[in-house]
Amino acid sequence: MILTKLAYKSLLNRRASVLLTLFTIAISVMLLLSIERIRVDAKSSFSNTISGTDLIVGARTGDIQLLLSSVFRIGHTNNGVSWQSYEYITHQRGVKWSIPISLGDSHKGQAVLGTTLDYFAHYQFAKKQHLTFNQGHAFTAINEVVLGSDVANSLNYKLGDQIVISHGMGNTSFHHHKDNPFKVIGILNATGTPVDKTLHIPLAAIDLIHGSSAHNEHDEHEKHNDLTGHPKQITAFLMGFDSPLYTLQIRRNINQYKKEALLGIMPTVTLKELWQMLAIVEKVLLLFSGVVVLVSLLGMLTTLLANLNQRRRELAILRSVGARPWQLFTLISIESLFTTLLGCIVGSALYYLVMLLASSYLQSHAGISVNIAMLSYYELTLIGVIMAAGFIIGLIPATRAYFYSLSDGMSIKI
C-alpha cells in the first residue's frame, strides 16, 4: 500500500531523529518491563520463601521483625525462647512437627543456623517443596555442616572442606570459634530463598562453640550422637500441625503464655503484611517507569510536531496528486505507530538482554530468582498499552496534518 511505503521511506529519510525517538521508546519499554518483571519475581520469590509452616514462634517482638529474623535472616532478636517453653509447646496436641532454629553466628558474612534433622525433613519453600541435597547428606555428627547452594558456590566449598564459624554476624567478626572447625557433609540444591545463603549445623554444636550448654560436663561419647544437645534457649521455632484448626488455638495459647513473653505468627499472613508494606515502593517504581514511558512518547510527539511544520510542502504535493486529507492523517498515524512498534520490539529485546545479564546478580545479591521466559500475558498487555498510547499520541500530529492539508490545500507554505 502506497501510504505504508511513503511512511516507511519518509521515516528512513529522517532516520537520525527517528532512531533517537525509537531508542527513547525502546529504553522506556525495557525499563518498564524490567521493573515489572523484577517486581513480580520479587513478590513470588518473597512469598516462596517459606511454605507449609503453620506457625513461627519466637520471643515477643513485632510480627514482621520475627519473620524477618527467623526466615530472612535480617536483623536479629535479642531474646530467644527457652528450651523448656519449646519442649512444652511442641508437645501439645496437634503438633505434627517442629523445627528449632538458633541464629546469631556467621561464616564469612553468611548466616549460620543451628537446627535439628527435622529441618531437612519438614522445612518447605515455594509450592511445598522440601529441601533436597545436591551432594552429600544431612549432618550426622556434631562437627558437620550442610551448606546452602550459594554458600558453596560463592565460597567454592566442596564436600569434606573444614570451615570455621565466627561469633556474631558480619565478615569482620573478631571472635572465631577456631577450636571447633566443621566439616562440609552436604550441599543443598538451590531454592531461591535465604536457605541458599545459610550454613546449617546441629543445634548441639551452637551450644558447644559457645560453651553454653546446660549440661557442659556431658560425656564425650554422648556428644557425637546427640545432635540436639541441651540448649538453654533457641532463637525461634517453626511448627506444622495435623490440622489447620489447631493453628489459631495454639497461637492464642502461645501469645498468652505466662512463663515467657512469646509471639506466634502465621508466616503466610505476615508475609502478606510485609509485602503490603513494600507495596508503596512497588507502586513508586511502577509510577516511575510509567512516567519514563510517558516522557518518551511525549518526545516522539515533539519530534513529530516539529517535523510536521517542515513537511507542509510534502502534504501539499501529496494533495496535488490526489491524496485525501484522511490519507495524510493515516500517513502520519502509520509513522508514529511504526516508530512505537519498533521501539517496543527493540525495547523487548533490550529487556531480555538486561535480564540475561542481571539475573545472576539479582539471584546472588537480592535473592530474586528471575524467570527468563516468553513475555507473559501481563507484559504483552503492558506493551499493548504503550502501543495504544503511542498511537493515540500520534493522532495529535495526524490531526494537524489533516487540517494543514485542508487549510493549505496546494499552496506551499514554506
Question: C-alpha grid cell for residue 177?
Answer: 570459634
CB of 365 to another protein, least distance (A): 49
CB of 25 to another protein, least distance (A): 22
Whole-Å CA distances, 40 to 192, 197, 370: 14, 22, 9
Map residues 325-364 to x or -, x wherever contact with another protein holds by CB under 8 A.
x-x-------------------------------------
Beta bridge partners of 167: 105
Question: Hey, CA dihedral for 68, 70, 73, 79, is it positive or negative?
Answer: positive
CB 165 within 8 A of CB 178: no
**CB closer to another protein out of 156 and 411:** 411
**CB closer to another protein out of 10 and 255:** 10
CB of 309 to another protein, least distance (A): 15
Residue type, 89: I
Question: Is 277 one of the binding residues for another protein (CB under 8 A)?
Answer: no
CB 293 within 8 A of CB 386: yes
Question: Is 280 one of the binding residues for another protein (CB under 8 A)?
Answer: no
Question: Is 307 one of the binding residues for another protein (CB under 8 A)?
Answer: no
Question: Is 313 one of the binding residues for another protein (CB under 8 A)?
Answer: yes
CB 76 within 8 A of CB 113: no
User: Among 353, 326, 142, 114, which Cα is nearest to 234's?
Assistant: 114
**CB closer to another protein out of 316 and 350:** 316
**CB closer to another protein out of 279 and 412:** 412
How many residues in the shown chain lie near another protein by CB under 8 A? 24
Question: Is 413 one of the binding residues for another protein (CB under 8 A)?
Answer: no
Residue type, 42: A
Question: Is 410 one of the binding residues for another protein (CB under 8 A)?
Answer: yes
Give the three-state DSSP class for 272: helix
Question: C-alpha grid cell for residue 191?
Answer: 531454592
DSSP for 30-45, written as a single string: HHHHHHHHHHHHHHHH
Question: Is 403 one of the binding residues for another protein (CB under 8 A)?
Answer: no
CB of 5 to another protein, least distance (A): 9
Question: Is 306 one of the binding residues for another protein (CB under 8 A)?
Answer: no
The position carrying cell 508514529 is 336
| Residue 96 φ then ψ, to 5° | -85, -45
Question: Is 16 one of the binding residues for another protein (CB under 8 A)?
Answer: no
Give the three-state DSSP class for 166: strand
**CB closer to another protein out of 244 and 409:** 409
CB of 403 to another protein, least distance (A): 13
CB of 313 to another protein, least distance (A): 6
CB 40 within 8 A of CB 52: no
Question: Is 412 one of the binding residues for another protein (CB under 8 A)?
Answer: yes
Residues 238 and 235: their CA atoms lie apart, in Å, by: 11
The position carrying cell 547452594 is 149
- Choices 9-17, 164-172, 234-242, 381-389; region in contact with another protein by CB under 8 A: 9-17
Question: Hey, CA dihedral for 294, 377, 371, 341, is it positive or negative?
Answer: negative
Among 16, 280, 321, 373, binds another protein (CB under 8 A): 321
Residues 86 and 234: their CA atoms lie apart, in Å, by: 8
CB of 407 to another protein, least distance (A): 11
Among 207, 314, 335, 379, binds another protein (CB under 8 A): 314
- Choices 57-65, 160-168, 263-271, 403-411; region in contact with another protein by CB under 8 A: 403-411
- Give the interface with another protein as residue ranges (CB under 8 A): 2, 6, 9-10, 12-13, 313-314, 316-325, 327, 409-412, 414
